[in-house]
């Protein structure tokens, strides 16, 4: 118990110290609370799951710091392999193609405090290769097109979206992302437990938004460790996959009770995106849910 308390105290001190040193005078109210974000190119190498790691045993990912902003954003650009990865013969994907429906982690943060586990409370954007990309209907009758699907994925007091079918904690965007194109992801947290996830084009035009709803109404809901790129799911990356992250400037907003759109909103785009954004590209498989929860040992 004493050892555990020392760990949490050290972690909290680190969060406060690094934020004050790295962001003096920036984000004013959040300078002490922590305002780190992911910046630069991160790669999950073939056969791995954690970003920038060649580890084979007891692995862990990069330390992306902590964030205490009520509203924050990041610009992401996927590499080509994120839209077209295919498992070779004899690999995890080839042996069980349903694994392609697993979501991979992209960006987000934990909730309810800097020392609080993200596997208990957190919000993230997740992604996967466009399913059935050989179907011309997916991309305006262009055969063998490729793309990337995006979704929200939250943990709420230990409850996960799958296998419990909790759709308050996971929603899939209809917009199909393209590799080598920059998009802005935004996340805004509110005291009533709602979290607004926004998808914008590189110039800030809103394409779509989704809202997740938490029942755990913790007081420090805006504070948590930053979470970044991770592949899986159950399978390791069949090819090396890279994502470029870039900081997005702008002040944090003051906390408010809730978003100014209904939680039931489907996030209809305010302007048409440059790439085709058709509805769901494939029906969900009957044998297994398309966005299942990763196995316990793989859950990050």
* Domain chopping of the chain, boundaries: 33-298
The pLDDT of residue 299: 57
- Residue 2 host element (H or E): helix 2-22
Q: SS3 string of 9-46? A: HHHHHHHHHHHHHHCCCCCHHHCCCCECCCCEEEEECC
- Checking if the pLDDT of 287 tops 50, the result is no
The pLDDT of residue 167: 84
As a whole number of angstroms, the distance between CA 71 and CA 115 comes to: 20
Q: What are phi and psi of 27, to 5 degrees?
A: 60, 20
- Give residues with Cβ within 8 angstroms of 58, minimum separation 6: none
The pLDDT of residue 126: 98
As a whole number of angstroms, the distance between CA 136 and CA 285 comes to: 19
- Checking if the pLDDT of 270 tops 60, the result is no
Per DSSP, the residues of 50-118 read BTT----SS-------EE--SEEEEEEEE-GGGGT--PPTTSHHHH-GGGGGPPEEEEEEE-S-TTS-T
Dihedral angle sign, alpha carbons of residues 102, 105, 108, 113:
positive
- Highest mean pLDDT (candidates 20-29, 84-93, 252-261): 84-93
114 vs 258, higher pLDDT: 114
88 vs 251, higher pLDDT: 88
As a whole number of angstroms, the distance between CA 274 and CA 258 comes to: 30
Question: pTM of the full predicted structure?
Answer: 0.76
Confidence label for 141 from pLDDT (cuts 50, 70 and 90): low
The pLDDT of residue 57: 87
Confidence label for 300 from pLDDT (cuts 50, 70 and 90): confident
Q: Stretch 164-191: mean pLDDT, rounded?
A: 93
Confidence label for 136 from pLDDT (cuts 50, 70 and 90): low
Instruction: Please give the C-alpha separations between residue 123 and each of 142, 158, 236, 253, 290, in angstroms, as whole numbers.
Output: 34, 12, 22, 18, 19
Confidence label for 257 from pLDDT (cuts 50, 70 and 90): low
Instruction: Please give the C-alpha separations between residue 45 and each of 190, 200, 298, in angstroms, as whole numbers.
Output: 36, 28, 17
The pLDDT of residue 267: 38
- Highest mean pLDDT (candidates 82-91, 194-203, 262-271): 194-203
Angle at 299 between CA 295 and CA 300, to 5 degrees: 165
- Give residues with Cβ within 8 angstroms of 233, minimum separation 6: 99, 102, 103, 104, 294, 298
The pLDDT of residue 156: 96
As a whole number of angstroms, the distance between CA 275 and CA 55 comes to: 37
As a whole number of angstroms, the distance between CA 298 and CA 107 comes to: 17
Dihedral, CA atoms, 136, 138, 141, 147, nearest 10 degrees? -90
The pLDDT of residue 164: 73
- Give residues with Cβ within 8 angstroms of 95, minimum separation 6: none
- Checking if the pLDDT of 92 tops 80, the result is yes
Determine which of 66-75, 78-87, 216-225, 290-299 has the lowest per-residue pLDDT on average: 290-299
Determine which of 88-92, 150-154, 206-210, 239-243 has the lowest per-residue pLDDT on average: 88-92
């Amino acid at each position: 118990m004493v050892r555990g308390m020392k760990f949490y105290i050290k972690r909290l001190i680190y969060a406060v110290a690094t934020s004050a040193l790295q962001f003096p005078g920036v984000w004013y109210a959040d300078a002490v609370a922590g305002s780190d974000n992911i910046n630069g190119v991160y790669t999950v190498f073939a056969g791995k799951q954690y970003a920038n790691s060649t580890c084979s045993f007891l692995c862990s990912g990069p330390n992306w710091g902590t964030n205490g902003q009520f509203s924050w954003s990041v610009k992401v650009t996927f590499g080509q392999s994120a839209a077209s990865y295919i498992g070779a013969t004899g690999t995890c994907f080839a042996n069980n193609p349903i694994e392609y429906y697993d979501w991979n982690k992209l960006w987000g943060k934990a909730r309810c405090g800097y020392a609080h586990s993200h596997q208990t409370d957190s919000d993230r954007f997740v992604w996967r290769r466009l399913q059935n990309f050989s179907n011309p209907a997916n991309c305006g009758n262009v055969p063998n097109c490729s793309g990337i699907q995006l979704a929200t994925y939250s943990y709420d007091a230990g409850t996960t979206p799958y296998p419990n079918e909790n759709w308050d904690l996971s929603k899939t965007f209809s917009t199909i992302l393209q590799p080598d194109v920059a998009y802005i992801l935004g996340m805004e947290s509110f005291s009533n437990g709602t979290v607004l996830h926004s998808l914008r084009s590189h110039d800030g035009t809103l394409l779509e938004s989704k809202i997740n709803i938490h029942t755990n109404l913790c007081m420090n809901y805006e504070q948590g460790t930053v979470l970044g790129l991770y592949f899986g799911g159950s399978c390791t990356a069949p090819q090396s996959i890279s994502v470029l992250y870039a900081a997005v400037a702008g002040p944090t907003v003051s906390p408010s009770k809730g978003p100014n759109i209904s939680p039931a909103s489907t996030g209809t785009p305010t302007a048409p995106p440059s790439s085709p954004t058709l509805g769901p590209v494939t029906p969900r498989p009957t044998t297994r849910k398309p966005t299942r929860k990763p196995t316990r040992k793989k859950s990050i």
